[in-house]
Each structure stands twice: as structure tokens, then as C-alpha cells.
Amino acid sequence: MDRESDVRGEVVIARLHALVRAGYRPDVGVERTKGAVTFKHPRKAAEVTLWGDGRVVDGAPSFIANDSNQTVIEASDTTGFERFIADSPSPIAVRKVGSSLLETVILAAAAWAILIGAVYSFWRLSQFVLGAVIQAVTSG
């Protein structure tokens, strides 16, 4: 591998990490753009695409873009990328942890609620039955 490819790979990996730290999640499994990875953010509608050469393209216009409807940050534009990351909305705390953890917590809470409800219902039913049996024995 030549030095230029090494540097480009370092830029791509560094940008990938920076995007994930900023709350972006890769939209993998659907290859809409060959040679690139598309990212989605929980608080941002526009998608971001990271190309194999280190270029980042955002679907929303910004101060970095020329006159197009997209923000295009070249691999050599470190300052522009840092500004882009700094201007990204902070992810919601729960979304940053991950939806799978949130789903697990919700399912565990629901399971506990059902268990507690079943135990309480059984206890109340047994009180009713025991009360009816005691009343029948004492009155008869």
C-alpha cells in the first residue's frame, strides 16, 4: 500500500469514529451508494455519507457547501469537518446508549409489572376464597 492510501484510510477511520461519537449511526445492510457508508442521526433528518476517499457529504445545506443543496467536506478540509461535527445536534442520551438497551429495559419493566400484577391478583383471589370458606364454615 502506498502512503497516500494509508493517509486516506486514516482520515476515513478518524471521520467514522467522529461521526459515531457525534451520534450518527451507520445505515448498513442497504448499499445505496457503492464505495460509501450512509449515516443517520436521531435528531437530524438529513443523511450523511462518508466516501472511501474521506469526503463527507451531508444532504442539508450549510456554511461549508458551495451553492449546492449539500454540504461537501473534502478529505483535506479538517477544519470544516470539525465544525460540521461541532454543529451536529447532540444525540438524545437514551439513543446514544442504544435502542437495544432501551428495549431491554422496557421489556424487563413490563415483565415485572405483569409478574407483580399476577401475584397481587392471586393474593386477592385467595383472600376472597379463604374469606368465603371461613364465612361458610362459621355460619354453618
Residues 6+ apart with CB under 8 A from 45: 60
| Each residue's pLDDT tens digit, 56-108 | 988 766 655 555 677 889 999 999 999 989 888 877 654 544 556 777 788 88
Instruction: Report DSSP letters for 40-69, one per residue.
Output: EETTEEEEEEEETTS-EEESS--SSS-SSS
Least confident range of 37-41, 53-57, 92-96, 130-134:
92-96
pLDDT band at 52 (very low <50, low <70, confident <90, very high): confident
Predicted pLDDT at 99 = 57
**Per-residue pLDDT, 94:** 46
pLDDT of residue 119: 92
CA distance 65 to 63: 6
Q: Which tops the pLDDT comparison, 45 or 80?
A: 80
Q: How far apart are CA 126 and CA 137, in angstroms?
A: 16
- CA 80/CA 76 separation, integer angstroms: 9
Q: Which among 15, 14, 39, 36 is positioned nearest to 26, based on CA atoms?
A: 39
What are 8's three cell numbers? 486516506
This prediction has a pTM of 0.57
Mean pLDDT of the chain: 81
Q: Which comes out higher in pLDDT, residue 43 or 99?
A: 43
